[in-house]
Amino acid sequence: MNTSRPLNFRNLDLNLLRVFDVVMEERNVTRAAARLSITQPAVSNALRRLREATNEEQLFLPTATGMQPTPHAEALWPVVRTALARLQEAFEHQQFDPRSAGQSFTLAMADATAALFVPLLVQRFEREGFKVGLRIVPLTSRDPREMLEQGRADVALGFFPDVASLALADDDTGVIRHAALYSSAYICVMRREHPLAAPGALTLESYCAAQHLRVSFAGRPHGFVDEALARVGRRRHVAITVNSFFTGGLAVRQSDLLTVLPSGFVAASGQAADLACRPVPFALPGIDVSQVWHARHAHEPAQRWLRDELSRAAVEIAQGPASG
């Protein structure tokens, strides 16, 4: 950002910031125009006026698939998003009625977490007559901060040990906020007739001698199970890595592979009749499930309502048989 040239506020229309925000989200002028209910030339004109107001030569560069933000645009975006959120909060009535709102929310979570939360949320929303929409998107890593900063999700739910530590260290002064929901554990899962499903058969030795399936959102070749084994001087042979717990459950049902899944997932997935669950024969960290969100949503009534509903569902998960 060139700070030597002052911002020309006389040419700054707040509508330009809204267009900029949507183009940053979509990275595509056609999709941004559709969302804003304006024409593509109007979007291009708004971006030109914003460039002139900020004295920047470029905010976006054309690509084969859309628009690539410049470094200045990337730096400007979180400031613009926060400002727009605060303006919206200031002008909107500070109440949220989910029975008439018609608002949609995007939640990011792994399939194991969704298997527990989504049925409870659907049941409650239908029972209470809530007129809101939910869009569930997958996690691609254990760090959802980029998704939240870019507005691709309102809330992320899951096990985020690094993010939770940072949020606690910031003491609610950082851009990412965190709230604990419930705790669970990992279990070893295999087909019901697997030889290692017999009482006492699953030991550290037999576990390491078996073939394994790893679940990794990002497809990493080394995971937390491998790290735990390394701490006791052992290793396992991973035959296949998949990016969802549900796929992992299906694969071990029809093979001699072992996998490690969250304890509540097997029952919630509908696969319990075909799978055997056993304690992992070595020390693994527990699962502390939390919800994380961006600070710009901290005081929005609709977002507070959403987080309260997620907390309510988490209480049911923790108390129910699926919590393990």
- What mean pLDDT do residues 93-106 have? 83
Q: Is the pLDDT of residue 36 over 90?
A: no
Q: Which amino acid is at 320?
A: G
Q: In terms of Cα–Cα distance, which of 305, 286, 293, 314 is closest to 181?
A: 314
- What mean pLDDT do residues 221-249 have? 94
Q: Is the pLDDT of residue 53 over 90?
A: no
Q: Mean of the per-residue pLDDT values for the chain?
A: 87
**Fold exhibited by the domain 104-182+288-323:** D-Maltodextrin-Binding Protein; domain 2 (3.40.190)
- What mean pLDDT do residues 50-66 have? 84
Q: In terms of Cα–Cα distance, which of 82, 51, 147, 113 is closest to 244?
A: 113
Per-residue pLDDT, 10: 58
> What residue segments make up the domains of the chain, in order of their start?
9-91, 104-182+288-323, 186-285
- What mean pLDDT do residues 175-186 have? 91
Q: Is the pLDDT of residue 96 over 60?
A: yes
Question: Using CA atoms in the order 48, 52, 53, 58, what is the torsion angle rounded to 10 degrees?
Answer: 70
Q: Which amino acid is at 21?
A: D
Q: Is the pLDDT of residue 151 over 50?
A: yes
pLDDT tens for each residue of 258-275: 999 998 899 888 899 999
Higher pLDDT, 311 or 320: 311
Q: What percent of the chain has pLDDT over 70?
A: 90
Per-residue pLDDT, 230: 96
Q: Assess contact for 48 and 42: CB atoms under 8 A.
A: no
- What mean pLDDT do residues 68-73 have? 89
Query: 134 pLDDT band (50/70/90 cuts)?
Result: very high
Query: 322 pLDDT band (50/70/90 cuts)?
Result: very low
Per-residue pLDDT, 102: 83
Q: What is the rounded distance in angstroms from the CA atom of residue 96 to the CA atom of residue 305?
A: 8
Q: What tokens does 40 get?
A: 């593509």
Q: How far apart are the first and last CA of the chain?
A: 51
Of 36-40, 182-186, 205-209, minimum mean pLDDT range: 36-40
Q: What is the rounded distance in angstroms from the CA atom of residue 156 to the CA atom of residue 216?
A: 17
DSSP 8-state class, residue 175: S
Same fold, 104-182+288-323 and 186-285: yes
Query: 324 pLDDT band (50/70/90 cuts)?
Result: very low
Say if strands 104-109 and 155-159 run parallel, antiparallel, or are unpaired. Answer: parallel
Record the pTM: 0.71
Higher pLDDT, 183 or 84: 183
Tell me which range, 191-205, 213-227, 297-311, is most confidently predicted by mean pLDDT.
Answer: 191-205
**CATH class of domain segment(s) 186-285:** alpha beta
pLDDT tens for each residue of 161-176: 888 666 555 555 578 8
Q: Is the pLDDT of residue 297 over 90?
A: no
Per-residue pLDDT, 292: 94
Q: Is the pLDDT of residue 9 over 60?
A: no
CATH of 9-91, one of 1.10.10.10, 2.70.180.20, 3.50.50.60, 2.70.98.10: 1.10.10.10
